[in-house]
Structure 1
Amino acid sequence: MALNGFGHERNHTDLSMRITEIQLAILELLTWHVRAATDSQIQQVLNDQSIPGHASAVLRRLTKDGWIHRRRINVAVPVLSKPLCSWSPNQSKPNFAILAWQLFVRHTNNGRCSSSSCYTDHGEINPRQPCHPTQSLSISQSVRTGKAVHREPCRFSTDQTPALDSLTLVRRNQACRRPRLVNWAAPKAAHLTAGVSGWGRQPLQIEHDLGTTAMYVSSRPYQSEVIWYGEDIVRRRFSGVKKKVPDALLVDRRDNILKVMEFGGQYSRKRLEDFHRTWQPYPWEIW
């Protein structure tokens, strides 16, 4: 057994010898680290690892040979810059009400591209302007956070804990829903890499899964000594994790957990607090 570039073991079978370096890198990405990825996300990962080649051409060949599934889907894909909230065990508890509101605003603006939203020209939430959902939204201007209803604007107040980071940059022109080519692994790819082919089981989670991939692309774990396990790999390798499985774990080569990673959906304060309670022995990030 040999360690590949992502840090896990790989069998050198006759079948894998017929796979090129760029093809194997893509298959490992889709079976160990993320459930699904767009062409541009895969191209960015290849560029970061200095793997030459045009992703779309390789993906078409992998589809033809039955290694992956590929479909044009109308989705919004965020372009992330940094976590919304980073926390370590030596820090005070974050303000989850504010974080829940930030996630709510981001979620309700994705795919709508409203000119009256609270985003700046550079795609950031404007800290000087209250961030209320635009009038085009058919949802309430409040977000439920446990038993209470939080109606605070998502501006940066002086009483926020140091653990609360600034809002993740989301380029609105990239986040709007439009048809994109989405790729995910076929079962035989998972067999080759000893990974998991999991996205097809939960197709309604596609935008969350692509958000997790955006988190992977931005954090660039493949440029360090850590190993990124996607959610399905976490379920398999950490049998003790029964509830609140995170989107990813960063581990060392002995599978010691270094950091917990989560791409935030429209999470309530209670859900965020439950996540913190489960994973507070470890540093975590919510993007």
Structure 2
Amino acid sequence: MSKRTQFTDRDVTVLRALSLQVRLFGQRQLADALWAGDIANARRRLSRFTELGLLQRSLVMARPLPELLSPVCVWQPGQPHPDVSQIAFRLQSRWRYRTPRSTVVFLPTEQTVNHFGGRNKAVMSAQVSHDLGVSEVWLWFYCNHPSYATAWRGENLITDSEPGQSMPDAILVDSNDEPAILIEFGGDYQADRISAFHDDAVLRGLPYQIW
């Protein structure tokens, strides 16, 4: 880290999250969540991190995110099998008419990832909208349920998947760093994909949230 720049708690939150919890952030979503909607100040600060070699700025095509106020589905072991067709309908409906548009995103550089002890993972253009959705869920937790944001282990750090297990977008861990809740951000998923995610949670014996 540069000794010539004073880093605030908010700065460290952004850089750490990009290293350990999410793959990327959109400029606008960071401004809305952490800069009280002040896009100019957010842009100025993020540009400074780019100049310091801590972040990489990219312009990508991504679909605008639906508003995330609560999970679409919350399930606990012992509860009945959810109506996956209804969940799929809700997920697909919220993406209708959302066409891709130019979106400024920021990714961590190797320097930042190495500093926080994370692992860099390639971002595929076809998954940018989904990755932004995952980041939006993390930001919701950070602003509304900080303990969940702290307990969040992003896909880059999940290493306990075994053959036959699906890879959730994130896992919330307990005080012993053991998996406690599976987190998935729903794209325009088909019912069979949701059913497979549910079946995996049943095998793991873990509750989940689909956002």
Give the TM-score band, short-chain normalised. 0.7 to 0.9
Aligned equivalent of 2:209: 285
Aligned equivalent of 2:110: 187
TM-score, length basis structure 2: 0.83
Which is richer in helix?
Answer: 2
Structure 1 residue 274 displacement after superposition: 1.1
Residue 157 of structure 2 is aligned to residue 227 of structure 1:
no
Structure 1 residue 74 displacement after superposition: 3.1
Structure 1 residue 204 displacement after superposition: 1.8
Aligned equivalent of 2:76: 88
Aligned equivalent of 2:177: 255
Whole-Å separation in 1 of the counterparts to 2:33 and 2:146: 10
Whole-Å separation in 1 of the counterparts to 2:145 and 2:24: 17
* Aligned-residue RMSD, C-alpha: 2.5
Distance 1:196 1:44, change over 3 A: farther
Unaligned runs of 5+ in 1: 1-14, 112-176
Structure 1 residue 107 displacement after superposition: 2.8
Aligned equivalent of 2:140: 218
Q: Is the 8 A contact 1:36 1:182 kept in 2?
A: yes
Q: Is the 8 A contact 1:84 1:99 kept in 2?
A: yes
| Higher Rg | 1
Partner secondary structure for residue 58 of structure 2: strand
Residue 31 of structure 2 is aligned to residue 31 of structure 1:
no
Aligned length: 201
Distance 1:17 1:278, change over 3 A: farther
TM-score, length basis structure 1: 0.63
Whole-Å separation in 2 of the counterparts to 1:259 and 1:36: 22
Partner secondary structure for residue 212 of structure 1: helix
Structure 1 residue 45 displacement after superposition: 4.5
Aligned equivalent of 1:56: 43
Partner secondary structure for residue 96 of structure 2: helix
Partner secondary structure for residue 71 of structure 1: strand
Percent identity of paired positions between Structure 1 and Structure 2: 27
Whole-Å separation in 1 of the counterparts to 2:111 and 2:86: 44
Whole-Å separation in 2 of the counterparts to 1:193 and 1:241: 29
Structure 1 residue 256 displacement after superposition: 1.6
Structure 1 residue 44 displacement after superposition: 4.3
Structure 1 residue 88 displacement after superposition: 0.8
Deviations 1:113-145 (A, max 9, x none): xxxxxxxxxxxxxxxxxxxxxxxxxxxxxxxxx
Equivalent residue letter for 2:82: P
Unaligned runs of 5+ in 2: none
Whole-Å separation in 2 of the counterparts to 1:95 and 1:239: 26
Whole-Å separation in 2 of the counterparts to 1:106 and 1:57: 32
Structure 1 residue 195 displacement after superposition: 1.0
Aligned equivalent of 1:46: 34
Aligned equivalent of 1:73: 60
